[in-house]
Amino acid sequence: MTDWNGPKAPDEIHLERTSGAARRKAKKVRKARADAAEAAKTRSPRPSGPSGARSSGPRTTRPRGPQPGEGRAADGSDERPPDARRAAVEALVRIEEGGAYANLALGPVLERSGLDTRDRGLVTELVYGTTRMRRACDWLVDRYVTGTRPLDARTRSALRLGAYQLVVLGQPPHAAVTTAVSAAPKRSRGLVNAVLRKVAAEHEENGTVFPDPATALSYPDWIVERLTADLGLDRAMAALEAMNVAGSATVREDGYTQDEASQWVAELVEAEPGDRVLDLCAAPGGKATALAATGAHVVAADVRPSRVGLIAGNAQRTGTDDRVHPLVADGRNVPFAPGSFDRVLVDAPCSGLGVLHRRADARWRMVPESVERLARLQVELVRAAADLVRPGGLLVVSVCTLTARETTGVDCVVADVRPDLEPLPPPGDPWVPWGRGALLLPQAAGTDGMALHRYRVPA
């Protein structure tokens, strides 16, 4: 677990300083210019100018940088060669200025970027990583930004990108600064260069000491405070750090890509061939198709028609469309008689505080009030689902969050309103006991964070 005092700068990081090496480099540059001037004297004379006079020596011009409007088409699109950092800044601006979701902002940018597969991967890392670490990056640069006028979105995005490359990715300063400056608007390149060089110098000299864990790990205060209160300091810090690393996923035998934690939840439903199973909040259909792969017949319900379309598409792609039956329905009022199903899975809507590594901007969108609202919805869904399980059948409740209110808190209400439901023992490692259920921390096995409760309906 990284201490929030921040990582030390890698050994290879260095800053250009007025040293002996710099003086030698300057001397080489002067010699090269002198050699070029001498060589120019041996060339053919230049045509005379309008006055008939010839130049007294070789004409040298300073390389001309891009001018306002250059490199852009009439519609404002960028005509310069494809560049990963510029593409990343474009996506970051859409997130910052337009409020776009990170994944929705990134897709179109990659489509028109002209970048190869490797650079597309770099853009994805830069956009998601910078978005996750936004608070830390802002703290790094804001100490050196003077004036009271707010920074425009493109300048702010270039600064965040540079800080992320310098401190989080540990890139050499000359590369991190130069690439960030090139992606900044021309009018603010001097500012971006000056600020990032100060960040690099301070990081190289002293390491980076953040003021508190929330800033160092780049989360809103309320998330850090809530998880610390619910999980304990050590578990919470480890979980928050784990969710700053991009999530991986496993490809199932049927070709569907899904996190192992979700696959384990589906397995714990213990569906068997011929079972009637209800997946109450099924979109996009990952668990429903996994359940159908056992030979069970699965009604896969979701309240939004567009999401039910995703279920149907995934069932067709995985070859389970003959056993997955998509249904548009509110999980609190589905059109089935009591006791209609052998097994019911409620993968309930939640705050998602166990999958923040997958949704880079979710930490900045979720608000504390949502936790209480979602917990009440979860109780309603579980109560409705319990009535649909046949005597002796199984009810499974899962959420991809780590708050006590949405996990053990919901189970406390269930225990009051349905004391007849028998809680089953928690699964083994890497799950840990959590009240009457189980908790899977994201640091335990490198998966999504999940909470699980299983109940047997009395026969």
Q: What is the pLDDT of residues 414-433, one digit of tens each?
A: 999 999 999 999 999 999 99
Task: Please give the pLDDT value at position 249.
Answer: 80
> What whole-number percentage of the chain has pLDDT above 90?
80
Task: Please give the pLDDT value at position 1.
Answer: 40
Q: Is the model's pLDDT at 19 over the cut of 80?
A: no
Residue with the bigger pLDDT between 184 and 38: it is: 184
Task: Please give the pLDDT value at position 247.
Answer: 86
Whole-number average pLDDT of the chain = 87
pLDDT bin (cut points 50, 70, 90) of residue 35 is: low
Task: Please give the pLDDT value at position 56.
Answer: 38
Task: Please give the pLDDT value at position 80.
Answer: 56
Cα–Cα distance between 162 and 140 in angstroms, integer? 10
pLDDT bin (cut points 50, 70, 90) of residue 68 is: very low
Residue type at position 396:
V
User: What domains, with CATH codes, occur in the chain?
Assistant: 1-24+81-218 (1.10.940.10), 250-456 (3.40.50.150)
Task: Please give the pLDDT value at position 148.
Answer: 83
> Which of 241, 259, 1 minimizes the C-alpha distance to 132?
241
pLDDT bin (cut points 50, 70, 90) of residue 65 is: very low
Task: Please give the pLDDT value at position 81.
Answer: 61
Q: Which of 10-19, 144-153, 439-448 has the highest mean pLDDT?
A: 439-448
- Can you tell me the mean pLDDT for 222-250? 96
* Cα distances (angstroms) measured from residue 2 to each of 73, 160, 197, 404: 46, 21, 24, 25
Residues 89, 94, 99, 102, CA torsion sign: negative
Q: Is the model's pLDDT at 102 over the cut of 70?
A: yes
Q: Is 281 exposed, middle or buried (0-12, 13-18, 19+ CB in 10 A)?
A: buried
Selecting among 137, 281, 350, 400, the annotated active-site residue is: 400
* C-alpha 198 chain-centroid distance: 27
Q: Is the model's pLDDT at 37 over the cut of 80?
A: no
* C-alpha 250 chain-centroid distance: 17
- Where do we find the tokens 């011929």? 274
Q: Which residues are CB-contacts of 324 (< 8 A; sequence separation ≥ 6)?
A: 285, 288, 289, 292, 298, 300, 311, 312, 315
Q: Is the model's pLDDT at 60 over the cut of 50?
A: no
- Length of the chain counted residue by residue: 459
CB 314 within 8 A of CB 286: yes
Q: Give yes or no: 400 in active site.
A: yes
Task: Please give the pLDDT value at position 168.
Answer: 96
pLDDT bin (cut points 50, 70, 90) of residue 47 is: very low
Residue with the bigger pLDDT between 26 and 191: it is: 191
Residue with the bigger pLDDT between 262 and 5: it is: 262
- Can you tell me the mean pLDDT for 40-64? 39
Q: What is the pLDDT of residues 346-396, one digit of tens each?
A: 999 999 999 999 999 999 999 999 999 999 999 999 999 999 999 999 999
Q: What is the pLDDT of residues 104-152, one digit of tens each?
A: 999 999 999 999 999 999 999 999 999 999 999 999 999 999 988 899 9
Residue with the bigger pLDDT between 247 and 64: it is: 247
pLDDT bin (cut points 50, 70, 90) of residue 98 is: confident
Q: Is the model's pLDDT at 27 over the cut of 50?
A: no
